[in-house]
Amino acid sequence: MPQWRQGLTKSLHQTRSVPESRYFQLASVDSNGVPYCRTVVFRGVTDDNQLVVISDTRSEKFEQLSQTPEAHVCWYFSKTREQYRFSCKASLVTLEQDDELVTSQWNKLSDAGKKQFLWGEPGTPRNDGSALQIEGSFDKVPNHFCTILLAINSVDYLNLRGNPQHREWHHKDENGNWVSQSLIP
């Protein structure tokens, strides 16, 4: 297991009582190179060290990442005062591509979580003030529900505790092995 992943596992454990520790910021760029950033929920790490996120194929991020898979994650754990910045490559996984993965993520959602995917197309105008209607059923995974896997290329870790602070750079060497380098913060 790479050193950064051991550290992340520890950070998640130490902050397990803080729900916000499961949110991180995911940045992508559009076809003009304009950056966009949004908060997403961390849904786990795969055996091959990819961060798991769930999303909607009709969203801007899906369009952006399908054109430019390079993404950046910024994740701050306020309790432990640690920041992880991940340079990533995104894989977009639809129901058609991996039924098992996408269905398992859908089945883990609460009804309230599922509902958010059944309100209609995200980002389109909501013209009247009436309650949003649910289109579809909780039992059937909607075709637009998807999983984003973020493969980590490198990690810039900063721990604000201590004087001086502690910063580490994790990347892969030419043989694909993870190496770590301590940096001036």
Ligand X SMILES: Cc1cc2nc3c(=O)[nH]c(=O)nc-3n(C[C@H](O)[C@H](O)[C@H](O)COP(=O)(O)O)c2cc1C
Residues making contact with ligand X (CB under 6 A)? 23, 36, 38-41, 53-56, 59-61, 122-123
Question: Which residue, 60 or 168, has its beta carbon nearer to ligand X?
Answer: 60
Q: Tell me how far, at minimum, the Cβ of 117 lies from ligand X, in Å.
A: 9
Question: Which residue, 38 or 81, has its beta carbon nearer to ligand X?
Answer: 38
Question: Which residue, 88 or 170, has its beta carbon nearer to ligand X?
Answer: 88
Contact 47, 58 (CB under 8 A): no
Question: Which residue, 95 or 159, has its beta carbon nearer to ligand X?
Answer: 95
Burial class (CB in 10 A: 0-12, 13-18, 19+), 64: buried
Please state, in angstroms and as integers, the Cα–Cα distance from residue 124 to each residue in 27, 60, 120, following that order: 21, 11, 8
Q: Tell me how far, at minimum, the Cβ of 56 lies from ligand X, in Å.
A: 6
**3-state SS, residue 21:** helix
Q: Which two tokens stand for residue 54?
A: 């769930």
How far is 72 from 97, CA to CA, in rounded Å?
24
Q: Tell me how far, at minimum, the Cβ of 32 lies from ligand X, in Å.
A: 15
How far is 145 from 126, CA to CA, in rounded Å?
21
Q: Tell me how far, at minimum, the Cβ of 42 lies from ligand X, in Å.
A: 8
Q: Tell me how far, at minimum, the Cβ of 43 lies from ligand X, in Å.
A: 7
What one-letter code names the amino acid at 19? P
How far is 168 from 185, CA to CA, in rounded Å?
8
Question: Which residue, 39 or 133, has its beta carbon nearer to ligand X?
Answer: 39
